[in-house]
Amino acid sequence: MRSPFSFQGFGRGLYYRNEDFSLNLWRFETDMKKLLIIVAFVAVLGCRGGNEGWIGSEKELIMDGRGKMRVTLVTDEEDLAVLRKPSSEIPSGLVGGTVYRRLAGRMVETVTAEEGVGIAGPQVGVSRRVVAVQRFDKEGEPFEVYPNIRIVATRGEKEAGPEGCLSVPDRRGDVLRWRDIDIAYTSPATLSDTLETVTGFTAVIFQHECDHLDGVIFTDRI
Ligand SMILES: [Zn+2]
């Protein structure tokens, strides 16, 4: 009687099938590893605080208009929610792009029109880590814009000084601030992480503006 599977044939078939299976399994494992790496990468980006491209409403706010932007106020409930929300980073690939450049320009126009010395993203309704600061430590005291800014070091002791805020009408008060700090930001020129030491009153402005990016308002520190 002829068996449809001879032992040898079955064995060989199984052997070959096994080999195919092993190969497929190996490919499957490799694909899964690639997928895991992608998932892990996305998760890491997510943990960095929503390092995403511009969302529709941000683009609209920034691009639909020119010049001075409306300044958010603590006295308005919706504005206050924006001022209290921690800001996310701007992907370095977008620094130098059309939307970023328009935002940077309009932030400077806003702070100049309001006769302030600094302004942060949430103060123009954009929850992104970007500030415009008047550099009193540079010749001509220019306004400069710093994307993805953070304070990475402080030195000496804090000193008290009077502060006000464009988002907090009719309120001033003494705040303790460092006079010697290191800032890190994405250089709009090179798109690389840049470190800089700032001292004096300009360092105070940087701290006030960086607070805004963490949802902190100067009155919290009085
Ligand atoms: Zn402020």
pLDDT of residue 49: 44
CA distance 145 to 83: 19
| CA of residue 18 to ligand 1 center, whole Å | 68
pTM for the complete prediction? 0.78
Tokens of 68: 């001075």
The string of pLDDT tens digits covering residues 175-201 is: 999 999 999 999 999 999 999 999 999
Catalytic residue selected from 58, 89, 163, 209: 209
Give the architecture-level CATH label for domain 56-221: Alpha-Beta Complex (3.90)
Confidence band (pLDDT; 50, 70, 90) for 5?
A: very low
pLDDT of residue 52: 85
| CA of residue 178 to ligand 1 center, whole Å | 16
Confidence band (pLDDT; 50, 70, 90) for 31?
A: confident
The string of pLDDT tens digits covering residues 66-96 is: 999 999 999 999 999 999 999 999 999 999 9
Confidence band (pLDDT; 50, 70, 90) for 41?
A: low
The string of pLDDT tens digits covering residues 17-30 is: 555 656 666 676 77
CA distance 124 to 65: 13
- In the structure, ligand 1 is a single-atom ion and the residues with CB under 5 Å from it are 165
Domain boundaries, the chain: 1-47, 56-221
Specify whether 209 is catalytic. Answer: yes
